[in-house]
Amino acid sequence: MRRALVVLALLAGCAADPAPRRPLEPTPIPDPPAPAPTPVVSPDEVVGQPTTVDLTTPDVAGWEDATEGEAATLVYVTEQGRRDRAQAAAIVFSSDPKHPHFQRRSTSRVTVQRVTRADMTALLRDLAALGLERLPWAAQAFDEEIGPERALYLYRGGRRTHVEKDTLPDPARQTFTALERRLVQATLATR
């Protein structure tokens, strides 16, 4: 009985008009989508000076540091996310409780690492051993915008200096990369 049904189905299918055959054509391959444009971000969104000082921020109110060392702030502007969608981000290392970056809150794009003066001195010493002082630092006004270029900004002794990675020749760029590795290592060590 099953065989009879199968045979009938085959015969019915053969009796129907067959669909016209098309010649074999290659299937068109669609063009890949254009990469999404890099979002334009105000440097203030990345690291800029906070508009108000919030001394109630956790770890700021009542901050005490009895250690000896340098009161300084180092801002490392980098990128976060996948390479095709990377956004500017920053890591702030500060031992100066009076500095606006010390007082700001961490966000999804800015990580604030409050450190003691002794720890900042040790970090700067480590970075100096990797070539921090050999980079071509340029003086910059305190109120100039920061970022979004990959760069280092150092606030020390009442001065602000910076160096951008993309403007460096190859040997200095390698030094900058070594400094980046050490700063990322310092960030991971404080978590």
SS (H, E, C) 50-91: CCCCCCCCCCCCCCCCCCCCCCEEEEEEEEECCHHHCEEEEE
* Confidence grade of residue 87 (pLDDT, cut at 50, 70, 90): confident
* Confidence grade of residue 12 (pLDDT, cut at 50, 70, 90): low
Say if residue 142's pLDDT is above 60: yes
Please tell me the predicted confidence (pLDDT) of residue 62: 75
Please tell me the predicted confidence (pLDDT) of residue 163: 95
Mean local confidence (pLDDT), 49-58: 39
- What's this model's pTM, rounded to 2 decimal places? 0.67
Say if residue 186's pLDDT is above 90: no
* Confidence grade of residue 153 (pLDDT, cut at 50, 70, 90): very high
Comparison of pLDDT for 114 and 54, the residue scoring more: 114
Mean local confidence (pLDDT), 24-29: 47
